[in-house]
Chain A
Amino acid sequence: MTTLDILTFFVYLAGSVTFILGLKFLASPVSARRGNRLAATGMAIVVGWVFVTEFLLREGGLSTVWILAVGIPAGALAGAVGARRVPMTAMPQMVAIFNGAGGGAAALVAAAEFMRDAGSGADLLPVTFMIATLLGAVIGSVSFTGSIIAFGKLQGIVSGRPVTYPGDKVVTGALLAGILALGVVLTLVTNSVPLFLLFVALALVLGVAAVMPIGGADMPVVVSLLNSYTGIAVAATGFVLNNYALLVAGTLVGASGGILTQLMCRAMNRSLFNVLFGAFGTAGGAAAAGATGDQNIREINAEDAAVLMAYGKKVIIVPGYGMAVAQAQQAVRELMDLLIAKGVDVEFAIHPVAGRMPGHMNVLLAEANVPYDRLKEMDEINGDFPNASVALVIGANDVTNPAARTDTTSPIYGMPILDVDKAEHVIVLKRSMAAGFAGIDNPLYADPKTTMLFGDAKKSVEALVSGVKAA
């Protein structure tokens, strides 16, 4: 080991420590930003070190330095511009895209390692090397295409409905079996490049096939899971390259992403298996279309709704994806300020899976300068609904559905919900009577104390604002 190798070891060690501390700091609101910057600094040091040692100092390293000179500015520009331009509502999609990029990179690295060694001779490659390489290639590829489909579903380019067809599970199973069989052949029989390419192609198709049948409402869980997958793929390439920075960072993300996915599933009271294979929302969607017609819906105009709130004691606002889509958070903050000025107690009830990602609502409301202490988590606020004069539901649906408590046949039966129906009045801001993202009918709307205010959430809230001003 040269001195340089030893130094490299310590740089990787330092980088790994910043990643661990970064994630740890990210778990608390006070230190989160510092954590992210710490990890970014560690990353910059590791990348800078590798650039210097592998390209500037190594003999012949300059011959391929142009790859970095082209690739890094191009990637940095695309990443930074994408991250800066994206509206806060589209964060989940953006995370999906960045994750897909990482998965793709891991697959490419694994492929490049295989190509070099497979091309050099007819002999079989060591089994451990092949296992790590194939794992990196297959998981990275699945994460790549899976993330792209998740992006498409969140962005509305691909249908948000679960896309299923007869025999789709057989096809997915066959893909898995094919990948497994090819993996065994590549490891034990021949290291043929065409077979490897077929192996990667099947993995890319598997990513699409695995995510298409999952409904848009479950995409956050899928993105989190794919994030964890990319971590594992990176860890696998860490084994291939015998590189501890990749190994530690990848494993960290693989493990923490897995936990995060579990936490998200638990918030919905569903198992990961149910999310991945349940085709959640198809059956309910069909039923909802028929049932909605029978409901007795009462509408309310913005003026009456505003009066109800302005002269109430306590208003609990329940934000959902509709608020995010309409970018209504500023108007909602204004409404809150006006109501508080009139002596009304205003709080926000945040369901763990409101919006498209856990914490999505918090991010949006924080952006609009709604103070933290008015944001209450589900367990904290559910006991308060009976004291509320008005529960104002803004573009949230499934998380308020009382069927989750009572109807054992409902697909969301057992999911913890916000008890908005316990409030004195429920005012629901909704674009139309269409079923929610999960495609399930919501009996809340037929409740005698519920009134509906139809329209774009932002316009409706602005109408409420002028109503409260006039009241």
Chain B
Amino acid sequence: MNEAVQTLPTEALLQALFIFVLTAFVGYEVVSKVPTMLHTPLMSGANAVHGVIVVGAMLVAASAEGPLRIVLALLGVILGTINVVGGFVVTDRMLEMFKRRPDGKP
């Protein structure tokens, strides 16, 4: 997939734009009704989701040549993994505290 970058055809670009716009609406709709107490876990969960950038770093690593790009890829993979793993774990820890039901006597 990487090889196509330089000559990314207009069609692919337009398709990506199409997905971008529709996804933005989905993101808006999904989050517009959230109880305040879940704002922090939601922010944290969303934070973990953009950790998908680790996939981008992996794709760079797959075709990395030369010390510079290898270093960039390595740092990208490390930071991206911190984002993913830390993000999901910390969100899970927050949500662990909400496990009781609203009527919940301990």
Q: Interface of A with B (CB < 8 Å)?
A: 5, 8, 15, 19-20, 22-24, 26-30, 32-33, 35-37, 39-40, 43, 46-47, 50-51, 54-55, 58, 61, 64, 67-68, 70-72, 74-76, 78-80, 82-84, 86, 88, 91-92, 94-95, 97-99, 101-102, 104-106, 108-109, 111-113, 115-117, 119, 125-126, 128-129, 223-224, 227, 230-231, 233-235, 237-260, 263-264, 267, 350, 352, 357-360, 362-363, 366-367, 369, 371-373, 375, 377
Contact = CB atoms under 8 A, between A and B. Distances in A.
A37 B92 contact: yes
A126 B8 contact: yes
A105 B80 contact: yes
Contacts of A249: 49-50, 52
A126 B83 CA distance: 31
Interface string B48-69: 1111111111111111111011
Contacts of A260: 31, 34, 39, 42-43, 46
Q: Give the 4 A-B residue pairs with the shortest CB-CB distance, closest first.
A: A75-B81, A255-B27, A79-B86, A71-B77
Nearest to B90: A83
Contact of B6 (A32, A68, A129): A129
Interface residues of B, number: 93
Contacts, number: 404
B36 A113 contact: no
A102 B43 contact: no
Nearest to A360: B40
A108 B79 contact: yes
Contacts of B100: 366, 369, 371-372
Given A33-B99, A79-B89, A239-B13, A101 B48 contact: no
A263 B86 CA distance: 25
Contacts of B8: 126, 128-129, 242
A337 B91 CA distance: 28
Interface string B25-45: 111101111111111111111
Given A26-B38, A94-B90, A242-B8, A50 B59 contact: yes
